[in-house]
Amino acid sequence: MDRIRIRGGNRLVGDIPISGAKNAALPLMVASLLTEEPLVLANVPHLADIAQMAEILGLLGVSIEQNGTASSAGAPGRTLTLTAKTIAQTTAPYDLVRKMRASFFVLGPLLARAGHAKVSLPGGCAIGPRPVDFHIQGLEALGARITLEDGYVIAEAPGGLKGGRYRFPHVSVGATENVMMAATLAKGTTVLENAALEPEIADLGACLIAMGAEIEGLGTRTLTIAGKPRLHGARHTVLPDRIETGTYAFAVAAAGGEVELIGARADTVGAIIPLLRSAGVSIGETNRGIKVARNGAHFTGFEVTTEPYPGFPTDLQAQLMALAATANGVSHITETIFENRFMHVPELTRLGAKIHVDGQSATVTGVQALHGAPVMATDLRASVGLVIAGLVAEGETIVSRIYHLDRGFEHIEEKLGRCGADIVRLKD
């Protein structure tokens, strides 16, 4: 298994192209199930999760053509053309769904297009149990009959879905996407309340509208979707990845230096800009993206609670903790989205971080220096938190199990390396 070796201590100077957002691209690929015409998606990142989604969609009958290269060299990412001329099968098997939870998003579109779907329950994962009850209730509100059998969700809507009203009991990105996609082909109007506001929802909504859907309220908590008998093909460019943007911004804040994040969009990064500014890091918009700089002056600790957008994202919590590890003073970080998202703590501790966890809150007392050590990645965002810590640590840090990293960060060693980091992938 590949590992990453980092020799810490270098400042980061230069620019980094930001890739298309993984968490936008995944549901956008699924939207191809809603029409028999081609859906062309530009700026799709080159990631293991995208390949995994392509595999599951292929099984369901979507033909996928790929053009262009990864965005690492500054070129716009790849273009995928997805065509679901016919639905070849309506079952998404356990073996594929368990590998990536986003596969569960096929439930709504399959049901809306084919009248039935059988999709494996994804099960828990490293960051917590992650139930799918809101996806199921939302589709039931559109008239679906849903049963659970042998670990599968079996959904039927023989006469088609019908518009309905559903209030998500708690904000859910995936459930909003799943039910919104299904509602575009329902008969009549659907109202979804307490919908997620994450920029990936608006990106999916914009693509669905380009495919002929009628959706009002994108960017608000209430979505009104007037169902259509059919959608058509469209072309859409995936928005830049706000989590990748925040990750590199934190890397610069931690290691020091000055980096322009090319293509990053300040209007999608929510709480990150005010947070970094309050900690003493310089960050602002440029005509090419966002520039982050920390020259000399140290940064202070912070108090952060993860929340649905526009609050601080759970997907940046591990990276923030790595930053907090060498801040001036004490930081308090509370995780409210997932139950088990502090697995990076023992690994950061191995590098010399001082962290005390009490339930869902962590107190991080900044230390003068971290020291390199072998560490292990446990999930996608935790692993990149370890990379940030490695950039700061004195000596050599080896991060193993980096297949987690390859799920969500395109060419990370190349992107950091071009800014002066001493980081290499060790092939086994």
Catalytic residues: 125
Question: Does the protein bind ligand EPZ through residue 23 (CB under 6 A)?
Answer: yes
- Minimum CB distance to ligand EPZ, residue 410 (Å): 13
Q: Minimum distance between the CB of residue 379 and ligand EPZ, rounded to whole angstroms?
A: 7
**100-129 footprint of ligand EPZ as x/- string (CB under 6 A):** -xx---------------------------
- Total site size for ligand EPZ, rule CB under 6 A: 23
Stretch of 11-19, 186-194, 288-296, 310-318 contacting ligand EPZ, by CB under 6 A: 310-318
404 scored as a contact of ligand EPZ (CB under 6 A): no
- CA proximity to 7, closest of 420, 405, 395: 395
Under the binding rule (CB under 6 A), the answer on residue 315 touching ligand EPZ is yes
**Residue 333: in which H helix or E strand, if any?**
strand 330-334
Is residue 170 involved in binding ligand EPZ (CB under 6 A)? yes
- Could you give the string, one character per residue 68-107, with x where binding to ligand EPZ holds by CB under 6 A and - elsewhere? ---------------------------------xx-----
When the beta carbons of 134 and 250 are compared against ligand EPZ, the nearer one is: 134
Residue (164 or 257) nearer to ligand EPZ, CB: 164
**What is the four-CA torsion angle of 270, 274, 277, 281, rounded to 10 degrees?**
-20
What CA–CA distance (Å, rounded) separates 359 from 362? 8
* Shortest-Cβ-distance residue relative to ligand EPZ: 174
Residue among 152 and 338 whose Cβ is closer to ligand EPZ: 338
Would you list the DSSP string of 156-211?
E-TT--B--EEE-SS--HHHHHHHHHHHTTSBSEEEEES----HHHHHHHHHHHHT
In contact, 381 and 343? CB cutoff 8 Å: no
Nearer to ligand EPZ, 131 or 219 (CB): 131
Write the single-letter amino acid at 98: R
Tokens 């691209």 sit on residue:
25
Pick the closest to residue 402 from 391, 413, 416 (CA basis).
Answer: 413
Nearer to ligand EPZ, 57 or 102 (CB): 102
- Among 381, 404, 411, 418, which residue interacts with ligand EPZ (rule: CB under 6 A)? 381
Helix (H, G, I), strand (E, B) or coil at 82: strand
**Cβ proximity to ligand EPZ, 10 vs 120, nearer residue:** 120
Interface with ligand EPZ in residues 221-250 (CB under 6 A): none
**Burial of residue 170 (number of CB atoms within 10 Å: 0-12, 13-18, 19+):** exposed
- Per CB under 6 A, the list member of 4, 6, 18, 26 interacting with ligand EPZ is 26
d(CA 132, CA 317): 23
Indicate which single residue of 32, 43, 83, 172 sits in contact with ligand EPZ (rule: CB under 6 A): 172
Residue 219 binds ligand EPZ, judged by CB under 6 A: no
Span interacting with ligand EPZ, options 171-179, 204-212, 278-286, 413-421, rule CB under 6 A: 171-179
Among 380, 384, 387, 393, indicate the residue that binds ligand EPZ (CB under 6 A).
380
Task: Tell me the CA distances in angstroms from 9 to 3, 52, 164, 387, 388, one per residue in order.
Answer: 19, 36, 56, 12, 11
337 interacts with ligand EPZ by CB under 6 A: yes
C-alpha to C-alpha distance for 314 and 149, rounded to whole angstroms:
32
CA angle 352, 382, 264 (to 5 degrees): 115
Residues within window 122-161 making contact with ligand EPZ, judged by CB under 6 A: 130-135
Pairing label, strands 303-305, 289-294: unpaired
Residues in touch with ligand EPZ (CB under 6 A): 23, 26, 101-102, 130-135, 170, 172-175, 313-315, 337-338, 380-381, 408
